[in-house]
Amino acid sequence: MAVEPFLPFSRPSIDAATIEGVGDVLRSGWITSGPWVQTFELRLAELCGGRPVRAVSSATAAVEIALALAGIGPGDEVITSAQTFFTVSNMIARAGATPVFVDCDLVTRNIDLRAVEAAVTPRTRAIVPTHWPGSATDMDALLAIARRHGVRVIEDAALSFGTRFRGRFGGSFGDVTTFSFHPNKTLTTIEGGAIVLNDGAEATRVDALRFHGIERLGDGTRDVAIPGGKFNLPDVNARIGVGQLERLDAILARRRSLVERYFMRWPEEADCLLPPRPAPDDGCTWNMFCVLLPLEWMTITRAAFRDAMQQREGIGTGISYEALHLTTLGRRHGGREGQFPNAERIARETVTLPLFPDMLDDDVDRVCDAVRRVLAECRR
Hey, is 56 helix, strand or coil?
Answer: strand
Hey, is 20 helix, strand or coil?
Answer: helix
Distance CA 160, CA 141 (A): 19
- Residue 37: CB atoms within 10 A of its CB come to 25
Q: Nearest-CA neighbor of 38 among 292, 309, 188, 232?
A: 232
Looking at the chain, how many residues does it have?
380
Rg, Å, the chain Cα set = 21
Where do runs of H (alpha helix) occur along the chain? 16-28, 35-47, 59-69, 86-94, 113-119, 139-149, 200-209, 235-246, 248-265, 302-307, 328-332, 341-349, 361-377
Burial class (CB in 10 A: 0-12, 13-18, 19+), 221: exposed
Distance CA 209, CA 321 (A): 29
| Residue at 225: amino acid letter | A
DSSP letter string, 61-125? HHHHHHHHHTT--TT-EEEEESBS-HHHHHHHHHTT-EEEEE-B-TTT--B-HHHHHHH--TTEE
Task: Give, in order, the Cα–Cα distances in Å from 212 to each of 208, 226, 230, 329, 378.
Answer: 6, 8, 6, 28, 55
Q: How many degrees, rounded to 5, is the angle at CA 129 between CA 319 and CA 161?
A: 70
Distance CA 332, CA 98 (A): 10
Residues recognised as catalytic = 185
Which residues have a Cβ under 8 Å from the Cβ of 302 and sit 6 or more positions away?
Answer: 293, 295, 319, 348, 349, 351
